[in-house]
Amino acid sequence: MSWFESWHMPRWFYQMGSPKWFFEIGGRLQPWFMVAAIAMITWGLLWGLLYAPADYQQGNSFRIMYVHVPAAILSQSIFVMMAVTGLIGLVWKMKVAFMVARSCTLIGASFTALALITGAVWGKPTWGTYWVWDARLTSTLIMLFLYTGVIALNQAIADRSIAGRATAILSIVGTINIPVIKYSVEWWNTLHQSSSFSLTAKPTMPAEMYIPLLLMVVGCYSLIVWLVLQRTRNEILDQERQASWVARYLEER
Amino acid sequence: MYFTSLQHLIDMDGHGFYVWICYALFALTVAVNVWSAKRRQQRLLKLIKSQLRR
């Protein structure tokens, strides 16, 4: 297996595995992501709420899209991030990767809940009901349960490295649900409308409707990066408090 | 601006209640996430400082 032994990931990949390196670089990047998040979310929200024209079918209730769609996209992205970092933790035995995965759980669960609740509130004026057991809604609810399971598992296992491995396996298995959520509106006959937005096709809405949505999605991604960096850096402080660099960091600030 | 008056903005032709609730929940989710992450950092720094002094 000499080819395997000679195979190396790029240097930054191993540097990311160093808690000290992650803590310092993360701290330097955080303000930029926060500034980008505040700018784009403020711009997107004001535009979507005040200036975008009302939808010809849904009236003003379509403005819920500007918070519902980012929440739904993010909740799935965070789940994938949690599974990928969990996998990296398993394969390369990287402590920091498990910390990132752990940081994703509460953020992801809160945005899944937000997507479900705003969807329900949107459903009332649009479909006439808060909830239907349709494929998209049900698979998203399952994702919320998966997040809850990962959080409970983390809470139940005191040893961080065992908890990291156990939750990694649960989140990797749980990613089966992600394509189900994504394609649910195509596979099953459902009340939920199909994607309003895709990377490859031309938007189905006019620019003054989708640019604020784009701003919201990108702004929320920046916010999520900030949150994951902050929570992971908290986790590093917690677990590395005996390290000499932590003492030095505290003296310097 | 799409809306003609403040009343129109609040009411949104009958959809105001649903829209404003969703935007409020979004603001709440973001605020709680940011605040709890920052609070945890502050508490950890305080705790580790007091441990170092001993």
Judged by a CB distance cut-off of 8 A, whether residue A52 touches chain B is yes
Q: What is the mean pLDDT of residues A121-135?
A: 87
Domain ranges across chain B: 6-53
- In A, minimum Cα distance to B38 occurs at A230
pTM of the model: 0.91
pLDDT band at A225 (very low <50, low <70, confident <90, very high): very high
What amino acid occupies position A98? F
Is A111 in Cβ contact with B29 (below 8 Å)?
yes
**Nearest chain B alpha carbon to A62:** B19
Residues of A in contact with B41 (CB under 8 A): 230, 233-234, 237
Give the mean pLDDT of chain A.
90
* Any B CB within 8 A of A110 CB: yes
Phi-psi region at A179: left, alpha or beta (left = phi > 0; alpha = psi -120 to 50): alpha
d(CA A71, CA A62): 15
* Partner B contacted by A114 (CB < 8 A): yes
Q: What was the pLDDT predicted at A15?
A: 74
Integer Cα distance of A229 and A234 in angstroms: 9
What distance in Å separates the CA atoms of residue A158 and residue A152, rounded to the nearest whole number? 11
Residue pairs between chains A and B whose CB atoms are closer than 8 Å: 95
Please, what sign has the CA dihedral across residues A139, A141, A144, A145? negative
Q: Which pLDDT belongs to residue B45?
A: 94
A211 lies within 8 A of chain B by CB: no
Chain B residues with CB under 8 Å of a chain A CB are 1-3, 9, 12-16, 18-19, 21-23, 25-26, 29-30, 32-34, 36-38, 40-41, 44-45, 48-49, 51-52
> ipTM > 0.90?
yes
Give the residue ranges of chain B where pLDDT is below 50. none
Give the residue with greater pLDDT, A35 vs A248: A35
